[in-house]
Amino acid sequence: MNKPPLWVFLLLLGLLTSCAAPKTASLLRESAVMASPSLTAGLPTRSPVTMTPGEADLSPSVTMTPSLTPVPTDTLTLAPTLTPTWVFHPAGNLVVPILLYHHIAEPPNDNRYFVSPEMFKQQMEGLVASGYTTISMATLVQVMDQGGPLPARPIVITFDDGNLDVFQNAFPVMKALGFTGTVYIVTKSLADPKYMGVDVLKTLVQAGWEVGSHTYSHSDLTKSKEGLKAELYQSRQDLQKVVGVPVTSISYPFGISNDYILKKAIQYGYTSGAGLGGGSDHPQGTDLYLTRIEVRESYSLGMFGGLLPWWNGPIEPTPTATRRP
């Protein structure tokens, strides 16, 4: 087959070049128009976008999403500090205030053995604010004799006689604050409606309270040697039977005791004894007669604070406590 002459190829090439030229020229003209200020001066232009304060925060932003996820803060790690730290104490002398109350009710005729519910609440709240933690008499003497852990500011709160108003007015306040106490019961009065009965005592025990004996009849033990077995031993047995837990603490009526009574208390199974005298210092060996601080109706909150170590509130001079008549 014969090839076309060279001039045919040249003719076709010329025709193709002439067809593409108009499009190329049009593109060049459009570029020139966009580049020339004189040509774009009459065209409408878009004003710059300005944002008022705060609008930027409304703009969608993918990077802001993680901030919606709560991040643990230091406050979460502080929870353990709400639980008091207990530190080991070797056996020996201890500083532990032991408070003594009788009635928590409105006082009739300025009766020293009554503390009003409102004042009692203020006193307990003051103890919490001052960093106190309640312990039992059993814990106190165990640490004193054998060593063991105690909170930084321990305190024992005791109630003599077993008056029902203690359960009605003191127990709810102390429970709400995480406090426990020790009640000393006159077993002869268990059936008296003015005093705590078996069901009340069981409720207190279940709440962590300690139950001790205040003897059978609340008699002066120094004048009733023949009756010591009934006053000390039988009252303890009766209480243990009704509450179902060991009863190991005795409160001496009127704070009166002697060496013979202390020996009989040990013989009858007691490991601690509550007396009077004031002060928070307890030398080792005083387990069977631990001094207590009587809280009276006439004491202001500042006077109450003056009775205690480690009190963070106001302090006023407090009269010296005397024995109950």
Query: Are 107 and 101 within 8 A, CB to CB?
Result: no
The residue behind tokens 């604010």 is 129
Q: Which residues of the chain have pLDDT under 50?
A: 7-8, 11, 15-81, 321-325
CB-count burial class (<10 Å; 0-12, 13-18, 19+) for 56? exposed
Domain boundaries, the chain: 87-306
The per-residue pLDDT for range 285-317, each reduced to its tens digit, is: 999 999 999 999 999 999 999 999 999 987 887
Distance CA 160, CA 308 (A): 20
**First and final C-alpha spacing in the chain:** 148
Closest CA to 166 of 239, 103, 114: 103
**pLDDT number for residue 322:** 40
Say which CATH class 87-306 falls into.
alpha beta
Half-sphere exposure of 194 (CA within 13 A, CB side): 7
**pLDDT number for residue 318:** 63
**pLDDT number for residue 224:** 76
Query: Are 171 and 159 within 8 A, CB to CB?
Result: no
CB-count burial class (<10 Å; 0-12, 13-18, 19+) for 181? buried
Give the DSSP per-residue string, 22-62: HHHHHHHHHHHHHH-HHHHTTS--PPPP---TTGGGGS--G
Distance CA 219, CA 262 (A): 15
Residue 306 tokens read as 């003056």
The per-residue pLDDT for range 88-147, each reduced to its tens digit, is: 999 999 999 999 999 999 998 889 999 999 999 999 999 999 999 999 999 999 999 999
Q: Which of helix, strand or coil describes residue 294? A: strand
In 207-290, which residue ranges form alpha helices assigned H by DSSP?
Answer: 228, 235-243, 259-267
Taking the whole predicted model, whether its pTM rises above 0.85 is answered as no
